[in-house]
Structure 1
Amino acid sequence: MDRPSLAARVRTAPIPFEPDRATDLAARLPDALTRGVMGELIRGVTGSSPYLARLTERHAEWLAEAAAAPPEIAVPALLAEAREAAADGADQRSLATALRRAKGRAALMIALADLGGAWDLGAVTGALTDLADGLTETAAQWLLGQEIARGKLPGMTEASLVNGAGYVILAMGKHGARELNYSSDIDLICLFDQDQIAPDDFADAKARYIHVTRGLVKLLSEQTDDGYVFRTDLRLRPSPSTTPVCLALEAAERYYESVGRTWERAAHIKARPVAGDRMAGAAYLERLGPFIWRRHLDFAAIEDVEDLLRKIRDKKGRFTPSSVPGHDLKLGPGGIREIEFFAQTRQLIMGGREPALREPTTLGALSRLVEAGHVPQETATELAADYTAHRTLEHRLQMIEDAQTHTIPAPEPARARLAALAGWSDLAAFERDIAERLARVHETTRAFFAAPASTGAEPRHVEIDAEALARAGFRRPEDACRTLERWRSGRLAATRTERAQRLFAGLEARLVEYLAEAASPDDAIAEFDHFLTGLPAGVQVFSLFTANPHLLDLIVEICAAAPRLAAHLGREPQALDALIGGGFFEPLESEVALSTDLERWLGRESDYERQLDAARAWAREQVFRAGVQVLRGLADEVEAGTAFSAIAGATLDRLLPRVIADFATRHGPPPGRGMVVIGMGKLGTREMTAGSDLDLITVYDPGDAETSEGPRPLPPATYYPRLTQALVAALTVPTAQGRLYEVDMRLRPSGRQGPVAVSLATFRRYQLEDAWVWEHLALTRARVVTGPRDLGAETEAVIDEALARRKGDPAVLSEAVEMRSKLTDAHASARQSPWSLKHAAGGLMEIEFLAQTGCLYHGMGVAQPARALLAPLAVAGWIGEDEAEALGSALALQTRLQHVERVALEQPLDPDAAGEGLRRVLARVGGCEDFAMLAARLAELQLAAAVAVDRVFSEIEPPDEA
């Protein structure tokens, strides 16, 4: 039987909150969308939801045709169009556009079917889930196809794509349970089947699957002019802070079988293969069955459940009707999470013995619990109805602006808009309905949470002695035992109080478990001892660990691998707050976004000195975040370099106006057109590491001004050098919050002999007439970081002109040969050590110097990182294509390793003294199975790079002395 069209099935319509806006838009829509009940629906939707109004206007012609057909065919048709776009040889940009077009149109159709009463909650969440499944699969299939076409995925051919090419994508959470909300993230775990890969190809294949996964997240999550597809979260994978974004099925199984935790068991209740090799994914989940569904309820699992229930009871308290404005519909008292948790905890406790309870959906789980006699029918029916109403309201909240929000707006106009979209004309009645439902859910679930399932067994106390530590893997168990005893004794400031000792006692077993998981438990406990010893007090930190066990796991990993970060945490325990803040592990922000964030921090302070302190605190937090992401492999070498440079750039951009304002109180505003700051070196090319210095040049234009206008006026030639010194002081002088950066200004015209700030005219004359080749080599990495835009543009024009004059200049090559000879002589001993990443033969400095020389000689522009210059230099014929690939591989690996080195250590890396934790991190970041393999790979790439560099410079003809 044919299903009716959407237009024929409209039964309800929102109330237009902005009727004039709806009427105005209706005038621009096809007639089919403005007549009858369909017209009422469109007016209600576009008058109350700005987001849906934009979609309606953008896709009006498509919608007019789609509304005349059953809504059930819309999502499959849109997915088919996206698959066709991918199959037609689309490039990444056009595919991204096609995916986003499909998402936008589907989101519009699903919203209209929901708001128009054509679909119930199950149909809505099912369509959203089908959309997520299909677009994720299309994106993954295209990315895998690209890898196979380029011959990058060992053992895989185009025919392998039919079965997923060994790649497995699991959907978790609401996605896995087919319960996605309207503006939901999708939680994915990406794996690959090691059995489909030859052992010798494992490392290469793993690297490519990781590359595909990163590409998948970007393709789905990146915000473009066409919007985004789905925000994608990979943090539910095994130990996300220590593992790559994609890992082998076997490795994941080993993890869960050995150290999997209760919350991870709960997460897998909803797991489902959605793309790639679904058969391999299903078989994997089947093998995980004993981990997810324990037949015997061990005390630790029950204790975990009871602890979670107790925290909900203690923290959330009771619901009151007056708290509807601003109430979190998901996490607040009486919200969605309480119903989900009500069902899920009972599944987790009893599902091992009762397979019928293994149902991923919340409504299905409630029904199964009734059938098994664990929940009264009346209770389940009431909770199911309230859950449906909650989820429906959640969708209305998110439809207004496609925001991932669960919070009922506090301002009355925003609540009235929400009520109108939900079809309520009486705001007070609308809020009473919500309040009654929240109170009912809270009281119902509270009664059950008050008496959770229990075996009645007494809590067991595990004595952690030397014998137990030896069994756990400590090689020096007596030393470890003495360290534990010192922590317990109260001899540390962190454990001095009775409350701190009590909190620590509750953490001790878990802490030892995490320490035992480290590559070297003995190194980890020693560094954790340094961390604890540095804490001025322990109650706040121990409370944080108690509420966030994953945080303790992260700190142990930092202690095991990164003494520099561990020492920072000991000195700055407040940095822990950032770790539990939203977005800590999200991709690092752009320089513009960071500058905006820093402006908020500085805007809270009116005093100049306090602003300097605030800038230091902000920068430390951002550098720490970037450092942890480097350590955990969440940021590659490009992302890390961009992030550290963006932090520095934002700091300069926001501090310079404050420095000028403070300086102006004494000497008046800057005379003339102002001053720009040029970033040189790694700041210029956005390749900074943790702890990098800032190489700066300042350029000013006095215009016609002869002096500044202030209490103590200064001529420009004095004003700007002193202003520059004030900026340097703002960056380098230790305050109560320490220092920001070391600053090096030796690259300015005339070096140490010249003034610290030069006029634009002097800068131009010097660069065009007097500068040495080595100065122009340095200038290839220059960019204006902050200052007046017009002056910055003119400064960059001078740089471009100076560099353009060097194109084809034989002196560039001859002097570069001489400079390289001096550099190799100066670092002769370091060149023999492959772990001297900067100065080794084939190391970073050689590759970067080669790229700078080629850039200057061939006129390839300015401020480009070495990695971006190698391919153009190959096209220019200065290096071979094979050489470019060898140099690029060596550069990428050594840059990744240098980032870890700078994040983890205060001193240069000594591979013989590096702990096992750091060795493991280095191997993982280097894409190798172990440290020995990494060392071999490093030596191999450095040798190839050194051969290429030697070949290029040895073939440069000496200058004609005649």
Structure 2
Amino acid sequence: MTDFSARLTRSPHPFDAATAAEVRAGFADLPPEVAGLLAATAGCSPYLRGLMTREAAWLRAALSQAPEAALEAEFDRIDGLALDDLGSGLRLAKRRVALLTALCDLGGVWPLETVTGALTTLADRAVHLAMVRLVAEEIRRGKIPGATPEDAETAAGMVSLAMGKMGAGELNYSSDIDLICLFDETRYPGAEQEARAAFIRVTRKMTALLSDLTGEGYVFRTDLRLRPDASVTPVCLSMAAAESYYESVGRTWERAAYIKARPCGGDLAAGERFLKTLTPFVWRKHLDFAAIQDAHDMRLRIREHRGLNGRVVVEGHNMKLGQGGIREIEFFTQTRQLIAGGRDPDLRDRTTVGGLAVLAAKGWVPSDVAGELTALYRAHRELEHRLQMVGDAQTHDLPVTAEGVARIAAFCGEEEAAFRAGLLERIARVDSLTDSFFAPGEAEAGPELSEAAAQIVAGWIHYPALRSERAQGIFRRLRPQLLRQLHRAANPDEALRALDGFLAGLPAGVQIFSLFEANPTLIELIIDIAGTSPSLARHLSRNAGVLDAVIGGSFWTAWPGTQALRAELAQALEAVPDYEKRLDTARRWMKEWHFRVGVHHLRGLIDAFEAGKSYADLADAVVGALWPVVTAEFARKHGPMPGRGAVLIGMGSMGAQRLNAGSDLDLIMIYDAAGVEQSDGPKPLATRPYYARLTQAVVTALTAQMPEGRLYEVDMRLRPSGRQGPVATGWQSFTSYQEAEAWTWEHLALTRARVLAGDAALAAEVEAFRRDLLARKGQGATVRADVAAMRGRLQAAKPAKGSWEAKNGPGRLMDVELCAQMIALVSGSAARGVERQVAAGTAAGVSPSDQTALLDAYRLLWRLQCGTRLLTEGPLEMESLGIGGRAFLLRETGEASAEALTARLEAVTGRAERVIAAMMGGADGEASDAAG
């Protein structure tokens, strides 16, 4: 890199002209631009002038080369210091690094991040060197049980965590350093107390070595008060004790502090392991909008405590904690990181500038706001440095006199009037950009309510979600927005009742009310859902965490497809070591995606067919990702699958890849023992019970009620012999049964069978067998008669429930699907979906008009069924559905009114029923005439 003088871009104005002239003369041998910088700097800062005098010889050499080289040479020097020389050697390094970084800052040679990075690197080196040298001394004296001289390099399991600005690599010019000192107690079984006493001595000696002010100055003022419960705990404590504290009583401000935490000295690997254990404490799995209120309360307490709530004037203004100050930008950034960092590790940047950049990239902060706050942050930090450079004071306050302000203006290279105006403008802009984010607004009156509505609203105060004062305070501000959106609903009273049900079902309110307050567009969505889909609203009240996904950045993007979903879930499961927690993780993940499909469908972004495919993709991904998890857990206890393994097969709608919001999964399992009689594991099982219990484990993984709910209901009645047969079927038994014993309805079921997971070779054989069997079994003379008899039994057992019934009854979904399967069977087609199965009828003589009749009915009925299941779990009753629900179904089916939809339903189902009856009567050629 080029030397110092070639990189100068700016300089202060000399406030004390006489001092500046004297220093210029003293460094007249240097290039004029360098001598000018030294003179102007000395004319503003008595402290830096003293350093120039004290380190003049070293400074001349340092400024004749690239400053990075001079810095690295100083770091190399201190690395070789022995314990006896460490105190004076580090103080010399501090003087030199302080002088060099100041000149690089003032001369524009280094940007802010390089300046703070250099100061932080010195602090890291100082802490680490002090720790390892002092631990080595304790080991030499035999005070650390079992430790050897080699253990000194990792401080025998002791670590210092850099917190705050040091952790972020952002130390300011005269910063103190915040440390938390811990030790790994697992290295000292039975001798933890003796080890702790030694590490406490090391911590105290290290603090004195770095902090004590001697004739040579000090290294860094060291603050240990960020440790857990600092008023009663020792200066160094075990990692287990610290972890227990954070798990039980850790507070939001401590979570925010750990955003920047970083091991900086001693056993860095142990420090990283400790920070990893704190991940669930710092980074919550759900979006944590309640952290906004905590941060706001903290800001107000700091201002109140320090008397910083008055009118903003330049004299005496605190650039760190005052209004529009550095802390406002840091809180703004850290709080947003806390909100979403649990779900997106990319947001866990320790630095303020880096945090703002990634928040903007992920859509959490507008890019222009992030850019402006970054520029304001850099300007504030540079001014903070100049305040501290004057006298090496750990201050953030501007001078209280006009003369003092004039000195700082000159130090910044500005005229006083321009400096004052620019500073006040920046303070106001920071306040404007950040205050609306933190400070909740006052509650508005809201619209007037009818007497009945007022009674409902008055009852909200008694709901569990509003039991705390904090929840009540947020909701008071939120309620006017809710009521305004209700007034805009198609039927306000209906939407209010649905919203009432949603609020009544919430177990707690602070998190979700904070989320609504921070994201007003969610209120419109909630009212839309509450006024349209009461069942979806009830689901939301029980699983409010799924709303995290709505504002998670990708909620409104294109559907990713099965492979991407499976990979995402597999990655999420891999990150969780515990089996039951993996199952719960799968439930939380599935509910978010399931909710997304429902919302997209409800709002018209996708139609019923896209929704049906999406629900099926999601189920495919869940089954595919859980299969290796369940089988591995089972193998851990009972050994790997005996023989060739097994496959899990989706039947019915799952096999056909078209599900609705309430679909269960039809599954069967087939295995091939290949002559192996039992498994080989800690608890071996004979082959048949092995696969029977594995099947039950898979079903349990999908159906068990856990803290995050269940995934799916599972139906296994389509296995050979139905309820009477074993839950897992051997491959040879399966093929023999299908060839010789299976009923026609079981062959019909195979028309939609599809392997979802398991051994690839066995899966290929299953599919080949399915195709061959269908090509042969559909040619039997009794196939149509068998299907007709089956149809009669189904219609007797499951009659239509009203004219808007989509699933059951003549000419409706089950009827059309049954006919489509029959067409596939008699045609020998391997097609699984209804449309392709009906199209296969061309080869069997099914006329185009009959195919059209079937598909017209199917398409309308699927739209109605898929929409209905999104709105309600019960029968569709238009009178009780509500205006929002009716409007959704009419939009989905493309009809202008309920009467028009009723007429169309009657027409298409009637025609389909006649076609189906004719087909099953065995008269292909007469079907068209019968339908006419």
TM-score, normalising length: structure 1: 0.52
Deviations along 1:843-878, one digit per CA (max 9) or x if unpaired, are 10111111100000011114x2102223332x3364
The reply to whether residue 910 of structure 1 matches residue 890 of structure 2 is no
In structure 2, what is the equivalent of residue 847 of structure 1? Answer: 816
Give the conservation status (yes or no) of the 8 Å contact 2:800–2:808: no
The reply to whether residue 605 of structure 1 matches residue 576 of structure 2 is yes
Matches within 5 A, 1:651-800: 651-800=622-771
Once residues 461 and 531 of structure 1 are traced to their aligned partners in structure 2, the CA distance between those partners, rounded to angstroms, is 22
Give the conservation status (yes or no) of the 8 Å contact 1:700–1:758: yes
Give the conservation status (yes or no) of the 8 Å contact 1:564–1:905: yes
* Residues 771, 927 of structure 1: alpha-carbon distance in 2 compared, 3 angstrom cutoff: same
In structure 2, what is the equivalent of residue 871 of structure 1? Answer: 839
* Residues 499, 856 of structure 1: alpha-carbon distance in 2 compared, 3 angstrom cutoff: same
Any idea what SS the aligned residue of 1:613 has?
helix
Deviations along 1:38-80, one digit per CA (max 9) or x if unpaired, are xxxxxxxxxxxxxxxxxxxxxxxxxxxxxxxxxxxxxxxxxxx
* Residues 318, 703 of structure 1: alpha-carbon distance in 2 compared, 3 angstrom cutoff: closer
Matches within 5 A, 1:321-470: 323-325=352-354, 327-328=356-357, 331=360, 336-338=367-369, 447=428, 463-464=445-446, 468-469=448-449
Q: CA deviation at 1:932?
A: 3.3
Matches within 5 A, 1:630-669: 630-669=601-640
Q: Which runs of 5+ in 1 are unaligned?
A: 1-310, 343-381, 387-439, 453-458, 470-476
Once residues 600 and 443 of structure 1 are traced to their aligned partners in structure 2, the CA distance between those partners, rounded to angstroms, is 49
Give the conservation status (yes or no) of the 8 Å contact 1:721–1:756: yes
* Residues 330, 673 of structure 1: alpha-carbon distance in 2 compared, 3 angstrom cutoff: closer
* Structure 1 range deviating more: 542-551 or 816-825: 816-825
Matches within 5 A, 1:516-531: 516-531=487-502
* Structure 1 range deviating more: 811-820 or 490-499: 490-499
Once residues 823 and 554 of structure 2 are traced to their aligned partners in structure 1, the CA distance between those partners, rounded to angstroms, is 40
Once residues 873 and 889 of structure 2 are traced to their aligned partners in structure 1, the CA distance between those partners, rounded to angstroms, is 16
Give the conservation status (yes or no) of the 8 Å contact 2:576–2:582: yes
Once residues 660 and 340 of structure 1 are traced to their aligned partners in structure 2, the CA distance between those partners, rounded to angstroms, is 50
Instruction: Give me the CA root mean square deviation.
Output: 3.5
* Residues 317, 810 of structure 1: alpha-carbon distance in 2 compared, 3 angstrom cutoff: closer
Q: Which runs of 5+ in 2 are unaligned?
A: 1-327, 337-348, 380-420, 434-440, 926-932
Deviations along 1:307-335, one digit per CA (max 9) or x if unpaired, are xxxx9998359999965556528938998
Give the conservation status (yes or no) of the 8 Å contact 1:675–1:699: yes
Any idea what SS the aligned residue of 1:676 has?
strand
Give the conservation status (yes or no) of the 8 Å contact 1:500–1:538: yes
Q: CA deviation at 1:460?
A: 10
* Residues 479, 893 of structure 1: alpha-carbon distance in 2 compared, 3 angstrom cutoff: same
Aligned pair partner of 2:866 in 892, 899, 902: 899
Give the conservation status (yes or no) of the 8 Å contact 1:839–1:846: yes
Once residues 805 and 365 of structure 2 are traced to their aligned partners in structure 1, the CA distance between those partners, rounded to angstroms, is 59
Once residues 756 and 592 of structure 1 are traced to their aligned partners in structure 2, the CA distance between those partners, rounded to angstroms, is 28
Deviations along 1:664-693, one digit per CA (max 9) or x if unpaired, are 233211111111001100000011112222
In structure 2, what is the equivalent of residue 315 of structure 1? Answer: 332
Q: CA deviation at 1:792?
A: 0.6
Any idea what SS the aligned residue of 1:606 has?
coil
Give the conservation status (yes or no) of the 8 Å contact 1:500–1:542: yes
The reply to whether residue 827 of structure 1 matches residue 858 of structure 2 is no
In structure 2, what is the equivalent of residue 354 of structure 1? Answer: none
In structure 1, what is the equivalent of residue 58 of structure 2? Answer: none
* Residues 827, 878 of structure 1: alpha-carbon distance in 2 compared, 3 angstrom cutoff: farther
* Residues 532, 325 of structure 1: alpha-carbon distance in 2 compared, 3 angstrom cutoff: closer
In structure 1, what is the equivalent of residue 891 of structure 2? Answer: 924
In structure 2, what is the equivalent of residue 811 of structure 1? Answer: 782
Any idea what SS the aligned residue of 2:648 has?
strand
AA aligned opposite 1:710:
G
Aligned pair partner of 1:802 in 749, 765, 773: 773
Once residues 860 and 883 of structure 1 are traced to their aligned partners in structure 2, the CA distance between those partners, rounded to angstroms, is 18
Equivalenced residues, count: 534
Give the conservation status (yes or no) of the 8 Å contact 2:442–2:477: no
Q: CA deviation at 1:797?
A: 1.2
Any idea what SS the aligned residue of 1:854 has?
helix
Q: CA deviation at 1:573?
A: 1.6
Deviations along 1:825-845, one digit per CA (max 9) or x if unpaired, are 333454xx3322111332101
AA aligned opposite 1:837:
A
Deviations along 1:86-105, one digit per CA (max 9) or x if unpaired, are xxxxxxxxxxxxxxxxxxxx
* Residues 524, 748 of structure 1: alpha-carbon distance in 2 compared, 3 angstrom cutoff: same
Deviations along 1:537-566, one digit per CA (max 9) or x if unpaired, are 222212211121111111111111111111
Percentage of identical aligned residues? 40
Aligned pair partner of 1:888 in 855, 879, 895: 855
Once residues 947 and 443 of structure 1 are traced to their aligned partners in structure 2, the CA distance between those partners, rounded to angstroms, is 82
Any idea what SS the aligned residue of 1:696 has?
strand
* Residues 953, 704 of structure 1: alpha-carbon distance in 2 compared, 3 angstrom cutoff: closer
* Residues 341, 952 of structure 1: alpha-carbon distance in 2 compared, 3 angstrom cutoff: farther
In structure 2, what is the equivalent of residue 592 of structure 1? Answer: 563
Once residues 756 and 792 of structure 2 are traced to their aligned partners in structure 1, the CA distance between those partners, rounded to angstroms, is 32
Once residues 824 and 335 of structure 1 are traced to their aligned partners in structure 2, the CA distance between those partners, rounded to angstroms, is 58
Give the conservation status (yes or no) of the 8 Å contact 1:834–1:841: no
Any idea what SS the aligned residue of 2:667 has?
strand
Give the conservation status (yes or no) of the 8 Å contact 1:339–1:441: no
Once residues 887 and 443 of structure 1 are traced to their aligned partners in structure 2, the CA distance between those partners, rounded to angstroms, is 74
Any idea what SS the aligned residue of 2:654 has?
helix
Give the conservation status (yes or no) of the 8 Å contact 2:660–2:869: yes
AA aligned opposite 2:368:
R
Any idea what SS the aligned residue of 1:740 has?
coil
* Residues 742, 331 of structure 1: alpha-carbon distance in 2 compared, 3 angstrom cutoff: closer
Q: CA deviation at 1:778?
A: 0.6
- Structure number with larger C-alpha Rg: 2
AA aligned opposite 2:823:
G
* Residues 876, 714 of structure 1: alpha-carbon distance in 2 compared, 3 angstrom cutoff: same
Once residues 771 and 610 of structure 1 are traced to their aligned partners in structure 2, the CA distance between those partners, rounded to angstroms, is 41
Once residues 335 and 887 of structure 1 are traced to their aligned partners in structure 2, the CA distance between those partners, rounded to angstroms, is 51
Once residues 692 and 612 of structure 2 are traced to their aligned partners in structure 1, the CA distance between those partners, rounded to angstroms, is 30
Once residues 883 and 328 of structure 1 are traced to their aligned partners in structure 2, the CA distance between those partners, rounded to angstroms, is 60
AA aligned opposite 1:337:
D
Q: CA deviation at 1:904?
A: 2.0
* Residues 443, 660 of structure 1: alpha-carbon distance in 2 compared, 3 angstrom cutoff: farther
Any idea what SS the aligned residue of 1:876 has?
helix
Deviations along 1:429-459, one digit per CA (max 9) or x if unpaired, are xxxxxxxxxxx9999777457579xxxxxx9
Once residues 480 and 900 of structure 1 are traced to their aligned partners in structure 2, the CA distance between those partners, rounded to angstroms, is 29
AA aligned opposite 1:888:
L
Give the conservation status (yes or no) of the 8 Å contact 2:446–2:481: no
Once residues 449 and 496 of structure 1 are traced to their aligned partners in structure 2, the CA distance between those partners, rounded to angstroms, is 35
* Residues 740, 807 of structure 1: alpha-carbon distance in 2 compared, 3 angstrom cutoff: same
AA aligned opposite 2:816:
I
Once residues 622 and 441 of structure 1 are traced to their aligned partners in structure 2, the CA distance between those partners, rounded to angstroms, is 49
Any idea what SS the aligned residue of 1:574 has?
helix
Once residues 748 and 636 of structure 1 are traced to their aligned partners in structure 2, the CA distance between those partners, rounded to angstroms, is 32
TM-score, normalising length: structure 2: 0.53
Give the conservation status (yes or no) of the 8 Å contact 2:333–2:352: no
In structure 2, what is the equivalent of residue 479 of structure 1? Answer: 452
In structure 2, what is the equivalent of residue 503 of structure 1? Answer: 474
Once residues 539 and 785 of structure 1 are traced to their aligned partners in structure 2, the CA distance between those partners, rounded to angstroms, is 41
In structure 2, what is the equivalent of residue 950 of structure 1? Answer: 917
* Residues 561, 703 of structure 1: alpha-carbon distance in 2 compared, 3 angstrom cutoff: same
Once residues 605 and 501 of structure 1 are traced to their aligned partners in structure 2, the CA distance between those partners, rounded to angstroms, is 36
